[in-house]
């Protein structure tokens, strides 16, 4: 069968690549045409558009790039018609993907949504469009199944694909630090300022200010694969206590004792590696104000949302300043805070359903399509 997959962010590229790998085993004649990134391409997919050209963060940023977004939508619709897929698989990215779902449904193409839009956080009214346009929905957070059930839609909880993506494998060699020029004898702290240029330019200077003069640590900055090193170097300047490493976030986390993490999927990845963390978020003032009027959840990090309590500290907007950030970072190395957080991370893994999300989803997709096509 022919699968047209759309992912608009780095996390979608990761989960999409693992799903493609599983689908190739369940459907030996599978063909893939995708909006995604390097990981999906490595699995043999033809990449139509790279996610680095698609990710716009915040209300004002979306408005400013509206012409580009509409042009991408038009191009995507025509590309789908020209390729004639058996199914469209949408991965999160709701602003774009729900429009494609409506278009694909009218074109009589089966619509599969893998990784639900976070309508439980905001824009719950999107449930009506999802019911109308989506044939099968696969969710990865345990509370989402009940959320949809209460609103008259049955979905499948398949487990969280990050557990498979991370697994139990060894992400860094024993001499990884030496190979990357990291000094011996110091605890390593990961800095994860996000994957979008605008996130990095906002978050990284705050992280740097909070970590200045902490001589007992060495800092490893995770460079997003979609961004050039020059962006980071311009912000870091002459600091010698920071090592930049590109496209090795999991290796960095596997070696780190703590992390400062921009809100997003990385907060969950960090927890699944068992790395105590502080979650950071700061955005455009107007965009944030608008979001606060609309968002209905108590927390911004997936760790706290899944556990339904504050497991990791969240510093948001004005609370995110160098003094607070350094204070919360130091707490990760003192008292009972560290062990309490690590115990909670183990409970988190159990709640997320264990291993097998990609294989579960692939099997359900292939069996469903065999029945309806």
Longest dimension (CA), the chain: 63
Confidence at residue 68, expressed as pLDDT on a 0 to 100 scale? 76
Residue (of 31, 9, 6, 3) closest to 226 by Cα position: 9
Q: What φ, ψ does residue 336 adopt, rounded to 5°?
A: -90, -5
β-strands 46-50, 277-281 pairing: unpaired
Provide the pLDDT for residue 9.
Answer: 86
Please report the pLDDT score of residue 251 as a whole number.
97
| CB-facing half-sphere around the CA of 27: CA atoms within 13 A | 23
Per-residue pLDDT of the chain (373 residues; tens, 9 = 90+): 999 999 988 889 999 999 999 999 999 999 999 999 999 999 999 999 998 776 555 555 555 566 777 898 999 999 999 999 999 999 999 989 999 999 999 999 999 999 999 898 778 999 999 999 999 999 999 999 999 999 999 999 999 999 988 987 899 999 999 999 999 989 999 999 998 888 899 999 999 999 998 999 999 999 988 789 999 999 999 999 999 999 899 999 999 999 999 988 899 999 999 999 999 998 765 555 545 544 566 888 999 999 999 999 999 998 999 999 999 999 999 878 899 999 999 999 999 988 899 999 999 999 999 999 8
> In angstroms, rounded to a whole number, what is the distance separating the alpha carbons of residues 91 and 76?
15
Contact 6, 21 (CB under 8 A): no
User: Which CATH superfamily does the domain covering 176-351 fall into?
Assistant: Glycogen Phosphorylase B; (3.40.50.2000)
Question: What was the pLDDT predicted at 334?
Answer: 83
Q: For position 151, what pLDDT does the model report?
A: 95
According to DSSP, residue 183 is labeled P
What does 223-264 look like in DSSP terms, one character per residue?
E-TTS-HHHHHHHHTT-SSEEEEES-HHHHHHH-SEEEEESS
pLDDT of residue 288: 52
pLDDT at residue 286, rounded to an integer: 54
Per-residue confidence (pLDDT) for residue 296, from 0 to 100 = 60
Look up the CATH superfamily of 2-166+355-372: Glycogen Phosphorylase B; (3.40.50.2000)
In 3D space, the residue among 318, 310, 312 whose CA is nearest the CA of residue 288 turns out to be 318
Note the pLDDT of residue 284. 60
CATH 3.40.50.2000 in the chain is located at 2-166+355-372, 176-351
Structure pTM?
0.82
DSSP state letter for 51: G
């Amino acid at each position: 069968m022919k699968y047209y997959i759309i992912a608009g962010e780095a996390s979608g590229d990761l989960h999409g690549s693992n799903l493609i790998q599983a689908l190739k085993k369940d459907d030996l004649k599978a063909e893939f045409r995708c909006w995604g990134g390097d990981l999906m391409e490595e699995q043999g997919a033809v990449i139509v558009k790279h996610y680095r050209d698609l990710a716009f963060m915040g209300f004002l940023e979306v408005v400013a790039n509206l012409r580009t977004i509409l042009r991408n939508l038009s191009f995507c619709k025509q590309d789908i018609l020209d390729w004639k897929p058996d199914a469209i698989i949408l991965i999160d990215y709701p602003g774009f993907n729900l429009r494609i779902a409506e278009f694909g449904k009218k074109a009589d193409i089966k619509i599969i949504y893998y990784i639900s839009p976070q309508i439980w956080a905001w824009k719950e009214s999107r449930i009506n469009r999802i019911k109308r346009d989506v044939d099968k929905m696969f969710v990865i957070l345990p509370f989402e199944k009940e959320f949809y059930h209460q609103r008259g839609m049955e979905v499948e909880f398949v487990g969280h694909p990050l557990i498979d993506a991370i697994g139990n494998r060894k992400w860094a060699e024993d001499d990884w630090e030496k190979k990357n020029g990291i000094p011996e004898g110091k605890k390593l702290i990961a800095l994860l300022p996000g994957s979008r240029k605008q996130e990095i330019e906002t978050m990284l200077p705050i992280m740097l200010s909070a970590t200045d003069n902490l001589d007992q640590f060495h800092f490893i900055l995770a460079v997003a694969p979609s961004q050039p090193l020059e962006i980071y170097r311009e912000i870091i300047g002459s600091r010698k206590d920071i090592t930049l490493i590109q496209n090795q976030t999991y290796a960095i986390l596997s070696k780190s004792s703590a992390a400062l993490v921009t809100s997003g999927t990385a907060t969950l990845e960090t927890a699944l590696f068992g790395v105590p963390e502080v979650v950071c978020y700061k955005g455009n003032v107007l965009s944030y104000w608008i979001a606060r009027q609309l968002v209905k959840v108590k927390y911004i990090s997936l760790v706290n949302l899944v556990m339904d309590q504050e497991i990791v500290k969240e510093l948001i907007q004005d609370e995110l300043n160098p003094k607070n950030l350094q204070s919360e970072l130091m707490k990760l190395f003192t008292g009972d805070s560290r062990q309490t957080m690590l115990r909670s991370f183990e409970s988190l893994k159990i709640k997320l359903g264990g291993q097998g999300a990609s294989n579960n989803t692939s099997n359900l997709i292939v069996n469903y399509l065999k029945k309806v096509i």
